[in-house]
A and B are shown apart, each in its own frame.
Chain A
Amino acid sequence: MKSKDRLNAVIDNIEKVIIGKRDIAELSMVAMLSHGHVLLEDVPGVGKTMLVRALAKSVGAEFKRIQFTPDLLPSDVIGVSIYNPKDMEFHFRPGPIMGNIILADEINRTSPKTQSSLLEAMEEASVTIDGVTMPIPKPFFVMATQNPIEYEGTYPLPEAQLDRFLLKVKMGYPSPKEEMEVLSRAQLSSPIEDLEEVISLQEVLELQEEVKKINVDETIRSYIVELTRQTRNDPYVYLGVSPRGSIALMKASQAYAMLKGRDYVTPDDVQYLAKFVFGHRIMLRSEARYDGITTDEITDRILAKTRVPVQRLVGQ
Chain B
Amino acid sequence: MTSIRKNKWFMAALYILVFFLLAEWLTPVIALTETGHKNLFLIFIGMSLIMALLQVPWWISGTVKTLYVLWFAVYVYTDEVFFTGDAIRFLWDNFTNDFSALLSQDWAGTTDIFRTVLFFALLWMAVYLIHYWVSYRLSIFLFYLLTVVFIAVLDTFSPYTGNTAIIRIMVIGLLLAGLLHLARWLERHHIELSGNKIAAYIIPLVLMVSAAAAFALYLPKSDPIWPDPVPYITSFSDQAGSGPGGEVGRIGYGVDDSQLGGSFIGDDTPVFKATVANGQYWKVESKDIYTTKGWELTENVGDSFLYGNGDFISTDFQPGEPALRDNALVSMEQSFPFVLYPYGTESILMDQNVDYQYDSADQRIETYIEGAEIEPDVYEVAYSEPLYSLTALQAASDEDLAELPAEFDRFKQLPAELPQRVRDLAAEITADADNIYAKTRAIERYFSTAGFEYSQEDIPVPEEDQDYVDQFLFDTKTGYCDNFSTSMVVMLRSLDIPARWVKGFNEGELVDQNGEEEIYQITNNNAHSWVEAYMPGVGWMLFEPTIGFTGASAIDFDVETETDELEDPVMPERPDPLAAEEEEAAADAADSGPSLWSRFEQYTEEHRKAILWSLAGITAAALILFKMRQKWLPAVLIPYYRTRGNNASTFEKAYLRLLKQLDLYGIKRREGQTLKSYASYIDSFFGTHDMTKLTQAYERSVYGGKDETVQWQELKESWENLIKQTSG
Interchain nearest-CB distance for A129 vs B (Å):
46
Q: Given the interface contacts A310-B659, A311-B656, A312-B652, does A271 sit within 8 Å of B703 by beta carbon? A: no
Q: Chain A contacts of B675 at CB under 8 A?
A: 266-267, 308, 310
Chain B residues with Cβ under 8 A from A220's Cβ? 703
Q: How many residues of A contact B (CB 8 A)?
A: 21
A306 to B677, CA, bound (A): 15
Mark each residue of chain A from 267 to 298: 1 if its CB lies under 8 Å from any CB of chain B, else 0. Answer: 11001000000000000000000000000000
| Measured CA separation A148–B673 after assembly (Å) | 32
Contact of B676 among A268, A305, A307, A311 (CB under 8 A): A268
B-contacting 9-mer, from A38-46, A73-81, A93-101, A257-265: A257-265
In the complex, chain B residues 552-575 whose Cβ is within 8 Å of any chain A Cβ: none
* Interface set, chain A 300-316, CB cutoff 8 A to B: 303-308, 310-312
Asked if A219 lies at the interface with its beta carbon under 8 angstroms from chain B, I say: yes
A217 at the interface (CB under 8 A from B): yes
Is residue A215 contacting chain B, with contact meaning CB distance below 8 A?
Answer: yes
Any A CB within 8 A of the CB of B699: yes
CB < 8 Å: which of A268, A305, A312 contacts B671? A305
User: Which of A263, A264, A268, A310 has the largest number of chain B CB atoms within 10 A?
Assistant: A310
Docked-complex contact A304 and B702, CB < 8 angstroms: no
Q: Is B672 an interface residue (CB 8 A)?
A: yes
Q: Is B609 close to A, CB under 8 A?
A: no
| Chain A 207-223 near chain B by CB (<8 Å), digits 1 or 0 | 00000000101011000
**Contact at A219–B702, with CB atoms within 8 Å?**
yes
Given A310-B656, A310-B659, A311-B656 in contact, is the A264-B706 Cβ separation under 8 Å? yes
Q: How many A-B residue pairs have CB under 8 A?
A: 57
Specify which chain A residues have a CB less than 8 angstroms from the CB of B672 in the assembled complex. Answer: 271, 303-308
Select which of B674, B702, B705 is within 8 A of A268 by beta carbon: B674
Determine whether the beta carbon of B703 is less than 8 Å from that of A264.
yes
With the chains together, A307 CA to B670 CA distance in Å? 8
Across the interface, B705 reaches (CB within 8 A) one of A217, A266, A267, namely A217
> Taking A266-B676, A268-B676 as contacts, is the C-beta distance between A307 and B703 under 8 angstroms?
no
Set of chain A residues within 8 Å of B410, measured between Cβ atoms: none
CB neighbours (8 Å) of A308 from chain B are 671-675
Q: Is the CB of B671 within 8 A of A217?
A: no
- Contact yes or no, B671 A307, CB < 8 A: yes
Which A residues are CB-close (under 8 A) to B676? 266-268
Chain A residues closer than 8 Å to B677, beta-carbon distance: 268
Give A265 to B702 CA distance when docked, in angstroms.
10
Residues on the B chain within 8 Å of A265, using CB? 703
Q: Say yes or no: A217 contacts B670, CB within 8 Å.
A: no
Question: In the complex, how many angstroms separate the beta carbon of A216 from the nearest chain B beta carbon?
Answer: 9
Interface size range of chain B in the complex: 10 to 19
- Chain B 664-700 interface 0/1 with A at a Cβ cutoff of 8 Å (1 = within): 0000001111111100000000000000000000011
The verdict on A217 contacting B674 (CB below 8 Å), with A310-B659, A312-B652 known, is: no
Which residues of A lie under 8 Å from residue B704 when comparing CB positions? 215, 217, 262-264
Question: Which residue of the partner chain A has the closest CB to B676?
Answer: A268
CA distance A217 to B705 in the complex (A): 7
Contact with A along B294-332 (1 / 0, CB 8 A): 000000000000000000000000000000000000000
Q: Which residues of A sit under 8 angstroms from B670, Cβ to Cβ?
A: 304
| Contact assessment for A306 and B652 in the assembled complex, using a CB-CB cutoff below 8 Å | no
| Chain A residue, CB-CB nearest to B671 | A307
With A310-B656, A311-B656, A312-B652 as contacts: A266 and B703 at CB distance below 8 Å: yes
Report the minimum CB–CB distance from B292 to chain A (whole Å): 76
Contacts of A306 in B (CB 8 A): 671-672
Q: Nearest Cβ distance between residue B663 and chain A, in whole angstroms?
A: 12
Question: In B91-128, which residues have CB < 8 Å from any A CB?
Answer: none
Compute how far the CA of A304 lies from the CA of B703 in the bound complex, rounded to whole angstroms.
20
A124 CB, min distance to chain B CBs, angstroms: 34
A219 touches B703 (CB 8 A): yes
Identify A266's interface contact among B656, B673, B674, B706, CB under 8 A. B674
| Most central of A220, A303, A312 by chain B CB within 10 Å | A312
Considering only CB atoms, which chain A residue lies closest to B677 in the complex? A268
Q: Tell me which residues across on chain A come within 8 A of B703, comparing CB atoms.
A: 215, 217, 219-220, 264-267
The chain A residue sitting closest to B659, CB to CB, is A310
Residues facing A in B701-720 (CB within 8 A) are 702-706
Structural contact, B671 and A311, CB atoms closer than 8 A: no
A141–B704 Cα gap in the complex (Å)? Answer: 29
Would you call A266 and B699 a contact (CB within 8 A)? yes
In angstroms, how far is the closest chain A Cβ from the Cβ of B432? Answer: 82
B707 and chain A: residue at smallest CB distance:
A312
A266 proximity list for chain B (CB < 8 A): 674-676, 699, 703
CB pair B702–A217 under 8 Å, yes or no, is: yes
**A215-B706 Cα distance, complex, nearest whole Å:** 10
- A274 to B: closest C-beta gap in Å: 10
Which of A262, A271, A307, A311 sits near B702, CB closer than 8 Å?
Answer: A311
**Hey, which chain B residues are within 8 Å of A217, CB to CB?**
702-705
**Nearest Cβ on chain B to A258's Cβ, whole angstroms:** 13
How far apart are the CA atoms of A308 and B652 in the complex, in Å?
Answer: 16
Could you say which residues of chain B place their CB within 8 Å of the CB of A303?
A: 672
For A262, the chain B residues whose CB sits under 8 A away are 704
28 contacts between A and B (CB under 8 A): A217-B702, A217-B703, A217-B705, A263-B704, A264-B699, A264-B700, A264-B703, A264-B704, A264-B705, A265-B703, A266-B675, A266-B676, A267-B676, A267-B703, A268-B674, A268-B677, A271-B672, A303-B672, A305-B672, A306-B671, A307-B671, A308-B674, A308-B675, A310-B675, A310-B702, A311-B652, A311-B656, A312-B702
- Chain A residues proximal to chain B, CB less than 8 Å: 215, 217, 219-220, 262-268, 271, 303-308, 310-312
Give the interface of B toward A (CB within 8 A): 652, 656, 659, 670-677, 699-700, 702-706
Given contacts A303-B672, A311-B656, 12 further A-B contacts (CB under 8 A): A219-B702, A219-B703, A262-B704, A264-B700, A264-B704, A266-B675, A267-B676, A271-B672, A304-B671, A307-B672, A308-B671, A310-B659
